[in-house]
Chain A
Amino acid sequence: MSKTSVSVSRGVWLVAKRELNTRVRSKAFVIGTAAIIVVIAAYIGVMFFVGKSMSQTTVGMTGQASVLAEPLKASAKALGEDVTTTTVPDVATGERQVTEGELDVLVSGATDKLQVLVKKDLGNQVRAALDGLVRQQALDAELAEAGLDPHAVRTTVAGAKFEVRTIEPDDPERGERLGVAMGVTFLLYGSLLMFGMAVAQGVVEEKSSRVIELLLSSVRPWQLLAGKVLGIGLVGLLQMGIVAGVGLTAAIQLGVLTLPQGAVLVTVLSAVVWYFLGFFLYAVMFAMAGSLVSRQEDINSVVQPLMFSAIIPFVLTFITIPRDPESKLLEVLSFIPPFSPIVMPARAALGVAPAWQVIVSAVLAAAALVGLIWLAGRVFGNAVLRTGSRVKLRDALRAS
């Protein structure tokens, strides 16, 4: 006979395979993935152009002031401002160029009586650099009058230094790490909600089309639950993989991301682990919620609490992390399942969570998952065949 007994894992795999097959080929998946890529591309593009145009000032020099071009560049650089200088033939041309926005600043006049023209206002860094230059000119003049060699004095002054010891060395790559952390959080959160919701809708689809009765005459409720969650989880991972791959490649190619590839790889791998932990935690809860109702219209009411439990940690992370990466609130949240998969990856990517915290948090999340699977199996098994009005969670837990 062509029939064999269906092993437990084959049952789960068959269900998962169906989810994979039908979902990956669906229009929703293709369009959704493309849409996310567009959003990510826009994000990287903005980062790229903002990085280019910010902190770059074009200064036009004319007449005697031209000799100050090099000193101006040097002192602006020391203040963290990128200045390019051009020589302008005369003041009138310079004025026109400032008006048209070709130049940000026009410097003219004698070195001891500089005149500065800007369109609206002068940036603080450029102002400070020019201030320094003007004062230096004045100082040099005084020194020469007092019979001292301005150059020698300057060298002596430059040699006076102090030593800085840092308790927490600043991370020069923090900005990029922050970008990666935000990206990871955004992707994880988006996937959790989107595919979590897909799980709930899938369960309700089976309930409302009544195919559930046919399925449960050949597989056990928990196998159906496990297969569904696994299958949709893999679809989500596939989508996240495509998006993250495209995003990272673009970011590295454009030079927005210069972190060592090893560090990026670690972030990606840990994101995958967190995705699975987070997705399974939420998906199991979404499946449980879905099993309580019989119509697509009723889904929203049961998934709302779940939505909030994901939106709140996400918003907190997104708002808090750039300002206060070491926030105590986030530190606490990053240990509590089911919030931890949304909060911890950002902290880990930013390097503010020590390894032990990440591991403890992951173990806690895994433990919570085991408990939830047991709970969800029970609720799902009890509620999934009841059609009609919404099943109360308490009844689903109690019924044998």
Chain B
Amino acid sequence: MSDAVLEIDRVSKSYGSVVALQDMSFSVRAGEMFGFVGSNGAGKTTTMRIALGVLSADSGEIRWNGEPITFETRRHIGYMPEERGLYPKMKVTEQLVYLSELHGMTTAAARRAADEWTERLGLTARRNEEVQKLSLGNQQRVQLAAALAHDPEVLVLDEPFSGLDPVAVDVMSQVLRDKCDSGVPVVFSSHQLDLVERLCDRVGIVRSGQMVANGTVEELRASGANRIEVHAPLATYGWADQLPGVTMLSHVDGRTVVELADGADDQVLLRAALDTGPVHEFTRLRPTLTELFRNVVTEERAA
């Protein structure tokens, strides 16, 4: 499984004159969790649907282990669609068995898997209930079980966390982490950026059908504007204004936030701060994923 990698390579899709995806590219390796973020309509769902063969791309290629993905290899993807879909009048176990069989499992194996996953996701008591009688959160668990029960080699989940209570979020996170650690590449989209930041090894930010940022959380945060917060209680307003490449953003109660231009020396800033008196804190402020995302969205609005 060393070369288990899902590659989305320059995939484009248009609906008439509306461009949904433009040269979308990223890859997810074994044991890696990839978070897919972007505002509504940015192209996340379209990308996932194309990867699952539910939608066809205008151009570009999806590869699994270096080979273009086929109908046969797609069966090894566990998929959780954005529009949750289960038969409302079918019982939980029957439903899971049916879907796993369609993915190529024998009936006996499908039964075992259905039992295993309903137990793991805390649905044992609901096994023989019709899906429509379950709470939304439980329906969501069944949906996840449907994606996992056929022992997939890749997981593609569209908004798996939406609508879940904190306990369910923890269960879901743990399951995904376990799957990922067992060597399964996991891709999921989410609007819960704090969750993405915490869970994902790598993050891709999409805007208007294009990938605008893609890297580890650390890389992305480091790529943001270079800001420093200085706590020098005796410093007066405007103490850093004369320094080259330094722009003051705020100064409240001796706490100053400045932005350094590319190539500006933070040591010069530190010396200037010490000149004002004692310095209690000198911290590089790294943007959170939420801030990065907001920047991207703002750029989109401005564009």
Using CB atoms and an 8 Å cutoff, list the residues of chain A in contact with chain B.
1-6, 11, 14-15, 18, 21-22, 205-206, 209-220, 385, 387
CB neighbours (8 Å) of A1 from chain B are 151
Shortest CB distance B38–A (Å) = 20
User: Is B215 positioned at the interface, with any CB of A under 8 Å from its CB?
Assistant: no
| Known pairs A22-B90, A211-B86, A214-B81; A385 contacts B75 (CB<8 A) | no
CB neighbours (8 Å) of A218 from chain B are 74-75, 99, 102-104
Closest partner residue, chain A, to B113 (CB atom): A2
Q: A211-B86, A214-B146 are in contact. List 18 more A-B contacts (CB 8 A).
A: A2-B105, A2-B106, A6-B75, A6-B102, A14-B101, A18-B98, A209-B88, A210-B81, A210-B84, A212-B85, A214-B81, A214-B86, A217-B52, A217-B77, A217-B79, A218-B99, A219-B102, A220-B71
CB neighbours (8 Å) of A387 from chain B are 83
B84 touches A3 (CB 8 A): no
Between A5, A205, A217, the greatest number of chain B beta carbons within 10 A of the residue's beta carbon is seen for A217
| Known pairs A211-B85, A217-B77, A385-B54; A5 contacts B72 (CB<8 A) | yes
A-B Cβ contacts below 8 A, count: 81
Once the chains are docked, how many angstroms separate the CA of A211 from the CA of B84?
7
Q: What would be 7 A-B contacts, judged by CB atoms less than 8 Å apart?
A: A2-B106, A3-B109, A4-B104, A5-B104, A212-B85, A213-B49, A218-B75
Closest partner residue, chain A, to B95 (CB atom): A211
Once the chains are docked, how many angstroms separate the CA of A4 from the CA of B94?
20
B102 touches A14 (CB 8 A): yes
Closest partner residue, chain A, to B102 (CB atom): A218
B75 touches A210 (CB 8 A): no
Shortest CB distance B20–A (Å) = 14
CB neighbours (8 Å) of B150 from chain A are 3
CB neighbours (8 Å) of B104 from chain A are 3-6, 218
Shortest CB distance B280–A (Å) = 56
Between B54, B102, B109, B150, the greatest number of chain A beta carbons within 10 A of the residue's beta carbon is seen for B102
Contact partner of B83 among A2, A5, A210, CB < 8 A?
A210
Shortest CB distance A126–B (Å) = 62
Once the chains are docked, how many angstroms separate the CA of A219 from the CA of B71?
9
A217 touches B86 (CB 8 A): no
CB neighbours (8 Å) of A220 from chain B are 71
Shortest CB distance B68–A (Å) = 17
Between A11, A205, A209, A215, the greatest number of chain B beta carbons within 10 A of the residue's beta carbon is seen for A209
B74 touches A205 (CB 8 A): no
CB neighbours (8 Å) of A11 from chain B are 102
Shortest CB distance B133–A (Å) = 14
Closest partner residue, chain A, to B101 (CB atom): A14
Closest partner residue, chain B, to A214 (CB atom): B85
B106 touches A4 (CB 8 A): yes
Closest partner residue, chain B, to A26 (CB atom): B89
Shortest CB distance A54–B (Å) = 49
A213 touches B101 (CB 8 A): no
A22 touches B105 (CB 8 A): no
User: Is B53 positioned at the interface, with any CB of A under 8 Å from its CB?
Assistant: yes
Closest partner residue, chain B, to A4 (CB atom): B104
CB neighbours (8 Å) of A6 from chain B are 75, 102-104
User: Is B19 positioned at the interface, with any CB of A under 8 Å from its CB?
Assistant: no
Once the chains are docked, how many angstroms separate the CA of A211 from the CA of B76?
18
Contact partner of A14 among B49, B94, B98, CB < 8 A?
B98
User: Is B249 positioned at the interface, with any CB of A under 8 Å from its CB?
Assistant: no
Closest partner residue, chain B, to A385 (CB atom): B54
Closest partner residue, chain B, to A400 (CB atom): B56
Once the chains are docked, how many angstroms separate the CA of A215 from the CA of B100?
10
A213 touches B102 (CB 8 A): no
Closest partner residue, chain B, to A219 (CB atom): B102
CB neighbours (8 Å) of B53 from chain A are 216-217
Shortest CB distance B220–A (Å) = 30
User: Is B55 positioned at the interface, with any CB of A under 8 Å from its CB?
Assistant: yes
- B107-130: which have CB < 8 Å to A? 109, 113
CB neighbours (8 Å) of B84 from chain A are 210
Closest partner residue, chain A, to B53 (CB atom): A217
| Known pairs A205-B87, A209-B86, A209-B87; A215 contacts B102 (CB<8 A) | yes
Shortest CB distance A18–B (Å) = 5
Shortest CB distance A94–B (Å) = 68
Interface string of B233-267 (1 = CB under 8 A from A): 00000000000000000000000000000000000
| Known pairs A5-B72, A6-B102, A216-B54; A211 contacts B77 (CB<8 A) | no
B87 touches A217 (CB 8 A): no
| Known pairs A5-B104, A220-B71; A213 contacts B85 (CB<8 A) | yes
Closest partner residue, chain B, to A224 (CB atom): B102
Closest partner residue, chain A, to B89 (CB atom): A22
Contact partner of B55 among A4, A21, A211, A385, CB < 8 A?
A385
A3 touches B102 (CB 8 A): no
| Known pairs A213-B54, A213-B81, A214-B99; A3 contacts B151 (CB<8 A) | yes
What 7 A-B pairs come out closest when comparing CB atoms?
Answer: A210-B85, A2-B109, A211-B85, A210-B83, A218-B102, A213-B81, A217-B52
Shortest CB distance B246–A (Å) = 53
CB neighbours (8 Å) of A211 from chain B are 85-87
CB neighbours (8 Å) of A4 from chain B are 104, 106
CB neighbours (8 Å) of A217 from chain B are 52-54, 74-75, 77, 79
Shortest CB distance A340–B (Å) = 35
CB neighbours (8 Å) of B55 from chain A are 385
Once the chains are docked, how many angstroms separate the CA of A22 from the CA of B285?
59
CB neighbours (8 Å) of B109 from chain A are 2-3
Shortest CB distance A25–B (Å) = 11
